[in-house]
A = this chain, B = another copy of it.
Amino acid sequence: MFLCFMPDQFFTYKQLIEFTETVFKRIGCSSEDATTAAHALISADLRGIDSHGVARLSGYVRLWEAKRVNATPQIKVIHESASTAVVDGDGGLGLVVAPHAMHIAIEKAKQAGTGWVSVQNSNHFGIAGYHAMIALQYEMIGMAMTNASPLVAPTFSLDRMLGTNPICVAVPAGEEPPFVADLATTTAANGKLEILQRKKQKAPIGWIQDKNGEPSTDPHELKNGGALLPLGSDKEHGSHKGYALGAVVDIFSALLSGANYAPWVPPFPAYVPMPSEQPGKGVGHFLGAMRIDAFRSANDFKKHIDHWIRGFRNAKPVVSENRVLIPGDIEREMQVQRLKDGIPVIEPVVNDLEQLAKKLKVVFP
């Protein structure tokens, strides 16, 4: 590689989408599913959440190789009411199952005002934001949550009992861009530890505990029996609230659907053995859609949400360089920039993707 002295190599959005589609088709996905999965996965790179994008592509392939992902799932509704459904993802990619479930939620919301879909027997779904934001084009509020393999110790716990269990709420606006809050229910997402590992930097106190439950600054701590901490960091700063929010995500995603939960959620890395106990099926998600005009006229709503957003933008900042942001601002600005300038991919990921291309006999851009 000529550019091995450069920290990052740049790819266009189209290049990454096409490569990802090709890879997913190569493992047996239908053309339609490969397109859906590629858009869900690469939306993370586009929005600047590099840990959840193309960097994980070979991880999904390894799950398929380990027969933990079904490339040709028959996704089915197994229970429903006017505003709810439970979806069996048939072991498919979460990147395919979750958008499918979100569209069911949207159809329910068209009829009943809101739609709520809990999903069992799925896999990791990329970023919650992608799925929640599907609702925006229908003048609906979108919500997406997922559980994940256990990395988080609840308040007072030595054991890891929850995943980073993200919540996304996407709210349409009028003239202003949408409000998109997409957050792991931990103080810091695991992706932030990966960045520190690469930069050989320490983590702030409050992100992780070591295997004895003591505060730690070592970003490698999770490999040594440590754990991520719930949003709030410690009891005095409200970690019981972050723990409760992560627990709610687990309950909505898995207890309502019949997926695995708590420490028994299947791991993303295919080399990690499956948990000894499996109280449900696969990974669980929860998707929701609320039609704005099931509450009030969409025009009235848009007028007021624009006023709300401008009120926050105009709040007086503590330091003038750091203006008050609306949730979703940073990711949206990143998307504009990366569509224009390309998406930087770090060298280890480029190498990994080249190996993947070689293994699957596909062309790497």
Most buried by B among A184, A186, A279, A295: A295
A294 to B79 CA separation, bound complex (whole angstroms)? 7
Answer whether residue A118 sits at the interface, using C-beta atoms and an 8 A cutoff: yes
Contact yes or no, B327 A206, CB < 8 A: no
Interface residues of A in 273-306 (CB under 8 A from B): 279-280, 290-292, 294-296, 300-301, 304-305
Contact yes or no, B159 A295, CB < 8 A: no
Which residues of the partner chain B approach A296 to less than 8 Å between Cβ atoms? Answer: 79, 86, 256-258
Contact yes or no, A241 B311, CB < 8 A: no
**Out of B158, B181, B207, which one reaches A248, CB within 8 Å?**
B181
Find the B residue at minimum CB distance from A120.
B296
A305 to B317 CA separation, bound complex (whole angstroms)? 44
Which residues of the partner chain B approach A300 to less than 8 Å between Cβ atoms? Answer: 258
Chain A 208-238 per-residue mask, 1 if CB under 8 angstroms from chain B, else 0: 0100110000000000000000011100111
Known A-B contacts A82-B113, A236-B204, A301-B256; the reply to A158 vs B231 at CB < 8 A is no
Contact yes or no, A231 B236, CB < 8 A: no
**Out of B80, B84, B154, B312, which one reaches A290, CB within 8 Å?**
B84
**Out of B81, B213, B250, which one reaches A291, CB within 8 Å?**
B81
Answer whether residue A247 sits at the interface, using C-beta atoms and an 8 A cutoff: yes
Known A-B contacts A79-B295, A238-B231; the reply to A308 vs B251 at CB < 8 A is yes
Which residues of the partner chain B approach A322 to less than 8 Å between Cβ atoms? Answer: 156
A236 to B111 CA separation, bound complex (whole angstroms)? 42
Answer whether residue A318 sits at the interface, using C-beta atoms and an 8 A cutoff: yes
Which residues of the partner chain B approach A159 to less than 8 Å between Cβ atoms? Answer: 315-316
Most buried by B among A158, A247, A300: A247
Contact yes or no, A181 B244, CB < 8 A: yes
Copies of this chain assembled into the complex: 2
A300 to B207 CA separation, bound complex (whole angstroms)? 36
Report the minimum CB–CB distance from A46 to chain B (whole Å): 20
Known A-B contacts A116-B114, A204-B236; the reply to A315 vs B161 at CB < 8 A is yes
Contact yes or no, B183 A241, CB < 8 A: yes
A236 to B229 CA separation, bound complex (whole angstroms)? 13
**Out of B112, B156, B186, which one reaches A324, CB within 8 Å?**
B156
Which residues of the partner chain B approach A266 to less than 8 Å between Cβ atoms? Answer: none
A280 to B301 CA separation, bound complex (whole angstroms)? 11
Interface residues of A in 160-186 (CB under 8 A from B): 161, 169, 171, 179, 181, 183-186
Contact yes or no, B154 A324, CB < 8 A: yes
A-B contact pairs, 30 of them (CB 8 A): A81-B112, A81-B113, A83-B113, A84-B113, A84-B114, A84-B294, A118-B295, A154-B324, A155-B324, A156-B318, A156-B319, A156-B324, A157-B312, A157-B324, A158-B317, A159-B316, A161-B311, A171-B255, A181-B241, A181-B248, A212-B318, A213-B318, A232-B238, A233-B233, A240-B325, A247-B312, A257-B296, A258-B300, A258-B304, A263-B311
Task: List residues of chain A with CB under 8 Å of any chain B CB.
Answer: 79-84, 86, 111-114, 116, 118, 141, 154-159, 161, 169, 171, 179, 181, 183-188, 204, 206-207, 209, 212-213, 231-233, 236-238, 240-245, 247-248, 250-251, 255-258, 261-263, 279-280, 290-292, 294-296, 300-301, 304-305, 307-308, 311-312, 315-319, 322-325, 327
Please name 9 further chain A to chain B contacts, defined as beta carbons within 8 Å, in addition to the given A154-B315, A186-B238, A256-B295, sorted by A numbering. Answer: A84-B113, A84-B290, A86-B296, A112-B112, A116-B290, A159-B315, A161-B315, A233-B233, A256-B296
